[in-house]
Amino acid sequence: MKTFFALSLLLAICSANAADVRMPDLSGVTDKGLKIEIYSELSPISINQIHSWHIRVLNGNEESLELELLQVFGGMPEHDHGLPTQPEVTTRLDNGDYLLEGVRFHMQGHWQLQVEVQYAGVDDTAIIDFDLQ
């Protein structure tokens, strides 16, 4: 009986911790192998609502990098137009994420983001493709 109780308690704790882990809304890899994770305050990402993102940039050891520059550009390649806003990185958060404010998408379809980073004097870029429904 004690073993059953201990296993039940362990399972409950593991399940609670797994529920706390959030998957990124968007992700990609830079040309030089850095991992880009984007966590949107709107999840799922939707159209016609200005919102913010937390952007995490990780090296090969899954450690957050302190960047000299982080910029996000984007648009709809099939429609030949960019984002309807000009989102800006405003701060680096305590957990190492960067806060990108002013994100908005104005129509459904295929979007492409260009995430440009600079660290230790090195420029790097990730292209992230996704579809909004």
Dump the DSSP string for 69-107.
EEEEEEEETTTTEE-SS--EEEEE-TTS-EEEEEE---S
40/24 Cα distance (integer angstroms): 8
**pLDDT tens profile 39-51:** 999 999 999 999 9
Q: What is the pTM of this model?
A: 0.84
Q: For the ranges 8-12, 50-54, 62-66, which has the lowest average pLDDT?
A: 8-12
Residue 1 confidence (pLDDT) above 90: no
**Domain residue ranges of the chain, discontinuous segments joined by +:** 23-132
Superfamily of domain 23-132, CATH level 4: Macroglobulin (MG2) domain (2.60.40.1930)
